Chain A
């Protein structure tokens, strides 16, 4: 298990990551979602043992391998268990074949075995025709696929992917995720990927975690808003402006914060209901997505875009259709601030 414990990481005195604990269990497929600058890439670089956390440590199977009070540096053996593919990966000088074999060559694997593994991984990722090409002869999407294949050629225990499909079209992304799923069926492999594509995250990951301003969101990644909380007395019901609506919140905090509403905490109806919910917003359905069997994500424009989750049966009963009317309601106490 790869984990960050008590990690606080700063760049130029600015805190970019603040995590009490973040674990990637063996065989897990975790998707990290969050806006640009939320700390996803930093998190991946720390997990990849490429940077020492300013505070806290990285542990591998419970053993500290990087950081901590001793400011220990990771050993080559520890680093070889985790591989990162960056958002815009670079290929080394040389052919795609040389790139795919790089990790094996630096491990001292014999040339015959390197070629066998390279041919195998190239076939699985559909890049066999590219093997003798150089990096300047590849498209961005091809470079990304080669980089992922290069990372998997060394068979790491943990694969870290930063926006792995950012340069790929839908078909290429499907193929990439399909190849990763096949790899996980073939051998134990934990994957932690950062993505801003919520759909991809829900579709491919077992566990979706949201990151906002360097902190883990206590709820799923939809309905996150950066807000400024006004000064007011303790325990006050505050009304926070988000876009064109005002959301009622119970908090005694003030200052900048991230406001989150879990999609499962939102009641969906076609007309306003009499209830204790302080937040009732009417709007129109903009999208219906069946990301898992039996579950529908309802996206509605109620002044801002909010997402709610209902069962497929409920969606049918309410006759929800894109463009149709909908009312979202949630209690002030359901709004989380962090």
Chain B
């Protein structure tokens, strides 16, 4: 228990002291997670809506593909992305390997299937009469989609939370394409892995606590939003 208590005390001390390195890691982690979540949801939510509402040839196969991608190991994602972004890879010219952009791209690849699959499920859960009613009242395709999204907004908010939670806790891809470079690509998860390996359990635990607090804050924000929506 002393071990855990020490970790918590250290986390608090680090945060209160405004340790520059820790602050940098937290800021980078948030920057990567928010960027990846926004991009993944901007693509994934409409894709999920499309999958859920539009009949097209190969729809079942598309669903299978998206659902399979949900279980895709993040280290494999990182490995493939490493191949694409390495100097000899097709995207090597971008010079993104070992940058925060590479980590964000990896996180987008990981969060996109989550956003698409879960939003498709959320939209499929909406009463089909909502869509028909919007259409019969003269709503355009966008307005109809918006009416359905409003009905599914709690589920869609949960999708965004799940995507954010996934990318903020992701380590496999971040380690491979980010390289865990101090002051540049070191995120909370890669830092935790590093400090644990170096025997700095207290520091690793402190960063773990910060990660948990971030996840908790996102969930609280969602619950506050839901509470307001119910009011």
Task: Show the binding face of A for B, using Cβ within 8 Å.
Answer: 45, 48, 50, 76, 79-80, 82-84, 86, 88-90, 92-93, 102-103, 106-107, 150-151, 154
Contact A92 B147 (CB under 8 A): yes
Q: Which label, helix, strand, loop or mixed, suits the secondary structure of the B interface?
A: helix
Q: Which residue of B lies closest to A86 (CB)?
A: B129
Let me know if A107 and B138 touch, CB within 8 A.
Answer: yes
Using Cβ atoms and an 8 Å threshold, which residues of chain B touch A93? Answer: 150-151
A150: chain B residues within 8 A (beta carbon) = 137
CB < 8 Å A-B pair total: 53
Residues in B whose Cβ lies below 8 Å from that of A154: 137-138
B139 at the interface (CB under 8 A from A): yes
CB pair A48 B143 closer than 8 Å: no
Residues of A within 8 A of B147 (CB): 92
List, in ascending order, chain A residues with CB within 8 A of B150's CB: 92-93
Which residue of the partner chain, among A82, A88, A92, A107, contacts B136 with CB atoms under 8 Å?
A82
* Residue B135 lies at the interface, judged by CB distance under 8 Å to chain A: yes
B23 at interface (Cβ–Cβ under 8 A)?
A: no
Give the chain B neighbours of A89 by CB distance below 8 A. 129, 133
Contact between B140 and A76, CB atoms less than 8 A apart? yes
Distance A102 CA – B133 CA, assembled complex (angstroms): 10
CB contact under 8 A between A48 and B140, given known A90-B127, A93-B151: no
Count, chain B residues at interface, CB 8 A: 16
Shortest distance between the CB of B149 and any CB in chain A (Å) = 11
Nearest A residue to B129, CB-CB? A90
Known: A50-B135, A79-B138, A106-B143. 19 other contacts (CB 8 A): A76-B138, A76-B140, A79-B135, A80-B138, A83-B137, A83-B138, A84-B132, A86-B132, A86-B133, A88-B129, A89-B129, A90-B129, A92-B150, A93-B151, A102-B137, A103-B137, A106-B134, A150-B137, A154-B137
Binary contact track B144-173/A, C-beta < 8 Å → 1, others 0: 000100110000000000000000000000
